[in-house]
Amino acid sequence: MPAPGTLGNVNERVIELSGLRKTFGRITAVDCVDLTIRRGEVVALLGPNGAGKSTTIDLALGLSTPTAGTAQLFGGTPRDAIVAGWVGAMLQGGALLPTATVRESVALIAAVHRTPLSVDEALRRARCTEIADQKVAKLSGGQTQRARFAVAIVSNPELLLLDEPTAAMDVEARRTFWESMRGLTDEGRTVVFATHYLDEADTFADRIVMLRAGRVVADGTPAQVKAVVSGRTIRATLPSVSEADAASIRSLPGVTALELRGDRLALAAADSDRTLRALLGRYPELRDIEVAARSMDDAFLALTEAEALR
């Protein structure tokens, strides 16, 4: 396998997940995920708790064996890519030695790689220079994340896989974290990060893959995904609503999804004023009407039904 830097092909498939599935007993954590990520892409894996983000990252890194399907990095096995030093990772459970200093932690990893960054360079890029001589056990949550980031980048990897890298960081720490990350992506590295936050995905990623219940429910640019997520939900009661009514409601202007529970409707609408006018025009008997900004959970529900961006 040639070194990725020598290929220089922007269409190169850095991550290729095919029919990927992982079950834990009765739980299906990842359910038939097909995903191709190419060189230079910055991709957010966005989803609520339990969506399967961490499991997908673990499978991509070869840390967990798929129940079905395959995960490839740089056209080969995850193990080969990791041994070659092409992959840096920050995982949720990844611990550092508590008695080592930040500098020692970074140096330890640098020592096992063929073409690492210098330790000082990794510390500088991760904004750890000032905490370099502190013991890991004494770091705050946000400082620990920065130290883990320095460890992840010291091999000078082509690909970074980051599982909720800004967990435990305050707003200012998040901002500086993404600034230091930008330096790395500007050099053409590929970054995949898991997050719960749409704003973080929107600001930093150029592609958002939304996961829910182990499945990809949307995959598009932040603008495409936001258009679906940022709509409103109209809830109302329509006595004796029939299947024919449901079909007719789905075809109203601006409706992206409909959920029916008995006589109660929940409509996802891109332009709720227009949809509501049309709905009342057709069904004047509508009552108990509520219009609310769509929460992330509503958006995930809407997407599961509409699969609008697939």
Ligand X SMILES: Nc1ncnc2c1ncn2[C@@H]1O[C@H](COP(=O)(O)OP(=O)(O)OP(=O)(O)O)[C@@H](O)[C@H]1O
- Please identify, among the stretches 23-31, 95-103, 110-118, 273-281, the one whose residues bind ligand X according to the rule CB under 6 A: 23-31
The gap between the terminal CA atoms of the chain, to the nearest Å, is: 32
Q: Which residue type does 214 have?
A: G
DSSP letter string over 128-167? -GGGTTSBGGG--HHHHHHHHHHHHHTT--SEEEEESTTT
Report how many residues bind ligand X under the rule CB under 6 A.
12
Q: Which is nearer to ligand X, 131 or 205 (CB)?
A: 205
Q: Which of 201, 219, 294, 286 is nearest to 256 (CA)?
A: 294
Which of 17, 44, 46, 52 is close enough to bind ligand X by CB under 6 A?
Answer: 52
CA nearest neighbour of 60 among 84, 39, 91, 106: 91
Please say which residue, 51 or 162, places its beta carbon nearer to ligand X: 51
Token pair, residue 270, equals 């891109």
Q: Bridge partners of 220?
A: 208
Interface with ligand X (CB under 6 A), residue from 51, 123, 249, 258: 51
Q: How far is the CB of 203 from ligand X (least distance, A)?
A: 19
Query: Near ligand X by CB under 6 A, which window of 46-54, 69-77, 201-209, 218-226?
Result: 46-54
Angle between helices 243-250 and 272-282 (to 10 degrees): 140
Residue type, 296: M
- From 44-52, 154-162, 256-264, 277-285, span contacting ligand X (CB under 6 A): 44-52
Residues in 65-124 at the binding interface with ligand X, rule: CB under 6 A: none
What CA–CA distance (Å, rounded) separates 13 from 187?
A: 17
Single-letter amino acid code for the residue at 286: L
Among 31, 35, 37, 55, binds ligand X (CB under 6 A): 55
- Would you say 211 or 252 has its CB closer to ligand X? 211
Applying CB under 6 A, the span of 48-56, 118-126, 286-294, 298-306 interacting with ligand X comes to 48-56
- Candidates 22-30, 115-123, 150-158, 269-277 — which segment interacts with ligand X by CB under 6 A? 22-30
Shorter beta-carbon distance to ligand X: residue 33 or 84: 33
Please tell me whether residue 27 binds ligand X under the rule CB under 6 A.
yes
- Using DSSP bridges, classify how beta strands 13-24 and 87-90 pair: parallel, antiparallel or unpaired: unpaired
Q: Which backbone phi and psi does 56 adopt, to 5 degrees? A: -60, -45
Question: What are the structure tokens assigned to 307, written together?
Answer: 């699969």
Instruction: Return the residue of 14, 16, 31, 54 that touches ligand X, per CB under 6 A.
Output: 54
Q: Spell out the residues 6+ positions from residue 163 whose beta carbon is closer than 8 angstroms to its own.
A: 53, 54, 57, 89, 90, 91, 92, 193, 194
Considering the complex, state which of residue 66 and residue 116 has its C-beta at the smaller distance from ligand X: 66
| Subset of residues 189 to 208 that bind ligand X, contact rule: CB under 6 A | 196
Shortest Cβ 2–ligand X spacing (Å): 32
Least distance from C-beta 47 to ligand X, angstroms?
5
Pairing of strands 255-261, 87-90: unpaired
24 binds ligand X (CB under 6 A): yes
Q: Using the rule CB under 6 A, which residue among 17, 29, 192, 198 binds ligand X?
A: 29
Q: What is the binding site for ligand X (CB under 6 A)?
A: 24, 27, 29, 47, 49-55, 196
